[in-house]
Structure 1
Amino acid sequence: MTENKKYETLQEFWPFYLREHSNKMNRIFHFIGTTCALVFIVSAIFYLNAWYLLGALFSGYLFAWIGHFFLEKNRPATFIYPFKSFVSDWRMYFYTITGQLGKELEKAGVK
């Protein structure tokens, strides 16, 4: 992370989160990880087996951390802002599947 500012609200954290995900391949890795996590969550509900939730956690963070450490070359915001990062990841996922992420990236100053 390059900023030392303390983010109190999700609203002020969101542009920072997007700037920390400026590398398109990192965002793709996040999308893959979140999709895998979603499949595991649905499987946990369908099979009534909580063990699938471990797969959700593992797959979600594995892909995200690969994206950060090897592509973006920054430290995941989840280490300092676990809740805000978790919510923002799902928000980024929603904006991606609805085709609105480009607009959000532009507002945050990500090219």
Structure 2
Amino acid sequence: MPSENNFNYLFIKRFIQLFRAILSNPSDFNGHFYSHPLTLILLITVNQISLQFVIYLVGLLPSEYNFQLGKSPSERNLSEFHWLIIRSFLYVAINALLKSLSTFLSSILSIQ
């Protein structure tokens, strides 16, 4: 293997083969739209974008906890705190679901 990376004929040939596999004819997959590589790549992309958004929302939670717990005991609203706890659990559950879905879709797309 050469010590330097460069664009050569082999790279271009493999790149074209990759695009042929991704943009292949949907009739080659016997009507199963979910087995088409382009569909799987789009699903993985949407999944990763939504996963990053959920991770962003989880990152905002500590400041909301600090805001709720930083109030004096007479000003604390217990219903808002309970809603914050429920949201925290939901965000963590959605995060786990999206990560497992990402692993599942990637395993379908991988070369067996």
- Give the TM interval when normalised to the shorter protein: 0.3 to 0.5
Higher relative contact order (CA 8 A, sep 6+): 1
| Larger gyration radius, structure 1 or structure 2 | 2
Taking structure 2 as the reference length, what is the TM-score of the superposition? 0.32
Taking structure 1 as the reference length, what is the TM-score of the superposition? 0.32
